[in-house]
Chains A and B, each alone.
Chain A
Amino acid sequence: MRAPRDVYGEVLFELGEKYENIIVLNSDLAKATKTTLFEKKFPQRHFNLGICEQNMMSIGGGLSSEGFIPIASTFAIFATGRAYDQIRQSIAYPKNNVKIIATHPGLAVGLDGATHQALEDINIMRGLPNMTVLAPSDEVETKKLIEKAIEYDGPTYIRVGRAEIPQLFNSNTKFQIGKGNVLREGSDITILSHGIMLYHSLEVAKRLLQKNISVEVISMASIKPIDKELILKSSKKTNCVVTIEDHSIYGGLGSAVAEVLIQKNPVPQEIIGVSDIFGESGTPNELFEKYGLDINSLEKRILDFYHSNKY
């Protein structure tokens, strides 16, 4: 059980040695977003700018235009919400090579409540031309996708979870921007997911197998570009698709998958996420239960969907 944000701090430290032009920017959340490890090792290349996300994103654009790879870190909601225009104008439009690594997404943030729970960040970033959007799940995927994002030259948004989740991938799994990974093969339902909900998806799949329903579980951490090929391949096999995410039902993975299916292989799809509401304070488990993202609720909902579409 590890929190992806802890892994993020470590991988940054390693990448800092490999790439001399990585600059880490933070806006008074270095402890929370775990960039302090990097700061200790590379004090000259870590700038804690104070509480000013807009300034941070534009400074990132400027540094990138001088050949650096700035990594701008803050909570997902402040990155995408507060500094949207700066990301749009100073990063995405001029194709500046800035990596926005945003932690604390979704209801999984828990106690801090609605103001700190980004439920629309993927939606906001997905709409930006030139922007790559990634949402890894466990420690392996988080580490490998951050490495891939640094190798890739272009604006990238990476949503990194705060809550601890068990390791789901083995260390030999290959990751690529634009490619999903099948974690569990199945023939009756396809579940696509990202972040902490990938773990819930796998648990649901295990339970459904006991009811003789075979579920294919796909990690679709690369939300933009999305792996159309894999979505089509799996949906042609199962004819039944479910997306599960700790994000609004609008504009996230569910929408991205629906866009592919409706144009290429229109099969029934259930979009599971947070319905059109703001979150509230509570533990992550309490919130998941209240908003239907706990394993029991998911199992019930997917069964209903499966039966109403397959029989």
Chain B
Amino acid sequence: MDIQYLENKSLQLRNDLIDYGYEVGKSHMGGTLSSIDMLSVLYYGIMKHSPENPNWKYRDRFILSKGHCALGLYVILADLGYFSKKHLLEYKKINGILQGHPDKSKTPGIEMSAGSLGQGISYGVGKALGLKLKNINSRVFVMVGDGELEEGQNWEAILSANHYKLDNLVVLVDHNKLQLDNTLIDELSFENLISKFKSFGWEVLHIDGHNIKEIYKALKFSNKKPLAIIGNTIKGKGIDFMENNISWHCNKMTEDEYKLAKDQLKEGVVL
């Protein structure tokens, strides 16, 4: 795979995100910018999928459990042709196909209606089990936020994935260390997260979640057990006034902020 191509793609998606984020108003920019590199490598470099046939039987499945960052996924799905880009302007708007949080019955390419945090890994376990029962050799990728891992249901699911030896399940943790109200609670520090997954029987890789080459390598890893990829990320990555700034969990850009953000992406100052 051409890493340069993926890097360019990531930059383009960041630009799309800022453009559409500005157009549509208040959105979850921080967590979307921290996850967009991993998402872009997944969709453009790793997953088997078919925009013309979103329900293609042999596709890999992707679940955005941190559903509040849906705009990032929508930008990708539109870019790939799952639906027209004009729908991006209808994001969160009445009668639109793009809901504030992913809705599988309204949007082509969405595998799970997610938004209530903590359910994505369980749902992924269900899909991964289902694929095994059908003898379909596809993988299930679930992206969760690190704050989301505070929900207890995740650990029920992480336990069961190991029990059923789901080597077709990959969880990507967007470890940006911030949540809505504050910084992540101390108990979920980076090192502890690795040992927690390992003690639940998972294989764990920890990577720089913005380094395209590292992300690609991790997603190509041939795992024998369920795999957790913990991506060390920066909330608001790529836009200096958003980086590590809690107020950008969900916010609306002013015109000046929008211009500044675009300039920074153009110059590659922060990226």
Identify B123's interface contact among A44, A45, A61, CB under 8 A: A61
Q: Which of B1-9, B32-40, B107-115 contacts A (4 or more CB under 8 A)?
A: B107-115
Asked if A127 CB lies within 8 Å of chain B CBs, one says: no
Chain A's closest residue to B67 (CB) is A89
Structural contact, A47 and B129, CB atoms closer than 8 A: yes
A65 and B105 contact, Cβ closer than 8 Å, known pairs A52-B160, A86-B153 = no
Chain A hits for B133, CB < 8 A? 23, 44-45, 68
Structural contact, A90 and B131, CB atoms closer than 8 A: no
Asked if B157 CB lies within 8 Å of chain A CBs, one says: yes
Identify A62's interface contact among B116, B129, B134, B153, CB under 8 A: B129
Of the four ranges (under 10, 10 to 19, 20 to 34, 35 or more), the interface on chain A belongs to: 20 to 34
Structural contact, B156 and A65, CB atoms closer than 8 A: no
Q: Compute how far the CA of A155 lies from the CA of B124 in the bound complex, rounded to whole angstroms.
A: 19
Please, how many residues of chain B have a CB less than 8 angstroms from a CB on the other chain?
Answer: 29
Chain A hits for B128, CB < 8 A? 62
Q: Compute how far the CA of A49 lies from the CA of B163 in the bound complex, rounded to whole angstroms.
A: 9
Question: A30-47: which have CB < 8 Å to B?
Answer: 44-45, 47
Identify B104's interface contact among A23, A44, A65, CB under 8 A: A65
Chain B hits for A93, CB < 8 A? 103, 105, 113
Question: B91-142: which have CB < 8 Å to A?
Answer: 103-105, 111-116, 119, 122-131, 133-134
Asked if A309 CB lies within 8 Å of chain B CBs, one says: no
Identify A94's interface contact among B104, B153, B157, B164, CB under 8 A: B104
Structural contact, A67 and B130, CB atoms closer than 8 A: yes
Chain A hits for B111, CB < 8 A? 65
Asked if A254 CB lies within 8 Å of chain B CBs, one says: no
Chain B hits for A49, CB < 8 A? 160
A59 and B122 contact, Cβ closer than 8 Å, known pairs A65-B127, A86-B153 = yes
Asked if A54 CB lies within 8 Å of chain B CBs, one says: yes
Structural contact, A61 and B126, CB atoms closer than 8 A: yes
Chain A hits for B105, CB < 8 A? 93-95
Question: A44-81: which have CB < 8 Å to B?
Answer: 44-45, 47, 49-50, 52, 54-55, 57-68, 70
Chain B hits for A66, CB < 8 A? 126-127, 130-131, 134
Task: Pick from A47, A49, A59, A88 the residue with the most CB of B within 10 Å.
Answer: A59
Structural contact, A60 and B112, CB atoms closer than 8 A: no
Chain A hits for B123, CB < 8 A? 58-59, 61-62, 65, 90
Q: Compute how far the CA of A86 lies from the CA of B130 in the bound complex, rounded to whole angstroms.
A: 19
Identify A59's interface contact among B116, B129, B134, CB under 8 A: B129
Distance (whole angstroms) from the CB of A311 to the closest CB of chain B: 54
Structural contact, A62 and B160, CB atoms closer than 8 A: no
**Interface set of A (CB-CB < 8 Å, partner B):** 23, 44-45, 47, 49-50, 52, 54-55, 57-68, 70, 85-86, 88-90, 93-95
**Interface set of B (CB-CB < 8 Å, partner A):** 103-105, 111-116, 119, 122-131, 133-134, 152-153, 156-157, 159-160, 164
Beyond the given A52-B159, A63-B129, A90-B112, please list 6 additional residue pairs across the A-B interface where CB-CB is below 8 A: A47-B129, A55-B122, A59-B122, A66-B126, A66-B130, A93-B103
